[in-house]
Amino acid sequence: MHVDQPYRIVIAGGGTAGWIAAAVLARFLPPSRYEISLVESDAIGTVGVGEATIPQLQLLNAALGLDEFAFMRETQATYKLGIEFVGWGASDSRYIHAFGAVGRQIGQTPFQHFWRRGRDLGETAPLDAYSVNSAAAYAGKFTRAKSHPPQPNDIAHAFHFDASLYARYLGAYAQARGVKRLEGQINAVQTDAQSGHVTSLSLDGDRTLPGDLFIDCTGFRGLLIEGAVGVGYEAWGHWLPCDRALALPCASAPELTPFTRSTAHRAGWQWRIPLQHRIGNGHVYCSSHISDDEAAQVLTSGLDGEALGDPRILKFTTGRRKVFWRGNVVALGLASGFLEPLESTSIHLVQSAVERLLKFLPNGTINAVDVSAYNSQTIFEWERVRDFIILHYHANSRPEPFWRDCATMAVPDSLTEKLELFRANGRISRFNEELFAEPGWLQVMVGQGVIPDGYHPFADNQSPAEVKELLALLRRSVAKQVADMPSHEAFIARHCRAV
Ligand X SMILES: Cc1cc2nc3c(=O)[nH]c(=O)nc-3n(C[C@H](O)[C@H](O)[C@H](O)COP(=O)(O)OP(=O)(O)OC[C@H]3O[C@@H](n4cnc5c(N)ncnc54)[C@H](O)[C@@H]3O)c2cc1C
Residues that bind ligand X (CB under 6 A): 13-18, 39-41, 44-47, 49-53, 163, 185-186, 217-219, 221, 223, 245, 247, 282, 314, 316, 333-335, 341, 344, 346-347
Phi, psi of 351 (to 5 degrees): -55, -45
Please state the closest distance from residue 182 (CB atom) to ligand X, in A: 9
Please state the closest distance from residue 361 (CB atom) to ligand X, in A: 21
**Helix pair angle (16-28, 163-176), 10° resolution:** 30
- Whether the ω angle into residue 152 lies within 30 degrees of 0, i.e. cis, is no
> Which whole-number Å values give the CA distances from 444 to 53, 81, 85, 397, 405, in the listed order?
17, 15, 9, 14, 19
Q: Are 435 and 381 in contact (CB under 8 A)?
A: yes
Please state the closest distance from residue 280 (CB atom) to ligand X, in A: 8
Nearer to ligand X, 85 or 422 (CB): 85
Nearer to ligand X, 29 or 335 (CB): 335
Please state the closest distance from residue 300 (CB atom) to ligand X, in A: 16
Using alpha carbons only, how large is the chain's radius of gyration in Å?
23
Query: Which residues are CB-contacts of 450 (< 8 A; sequence separation ≥ 6)?
Result: 395, 419, 422, 423
Please state the closest distance from residue 382 (CB atom) to ligand X, in A: 13
Question: Which of the 8 DSSP states describes residue 223?
Answer: I
Please state the closest distance from residue 494 (CB atom) to ligand X, in A: 26
Please state the closest distance from residue 23 (CB atom) to ligand X, in A: 13
Instruction: Look up residue 487 and give its amino acid.
Output: S
Q: How far apart, in whole angstroms, are the C-alpha atoms of residue 357 and residue 216?
A: 13
- Other C-beta atoms lying within 10 Å of the C-beta of residue 478: 22
Nearer to ligand X, 269 or 374 (CB): 269
Q: How far apart, in whole angstroms, are the C-alpha atoms of residue 105 and residue 193?
A: 58
Nearer to ligand X, 110 or 268 (CB): 268
- Other C-beta atoms lying within 10 Å of the C-beta of residue 320: 21
Nearer to ligand X, 164 or 448 (CB): 164
339: Cα separation from own chain's centroid: 9
Nearer to ligand X, 123 or 340 (CB): 340
Nearer to ligand X, 42 or 469 (CB): 42
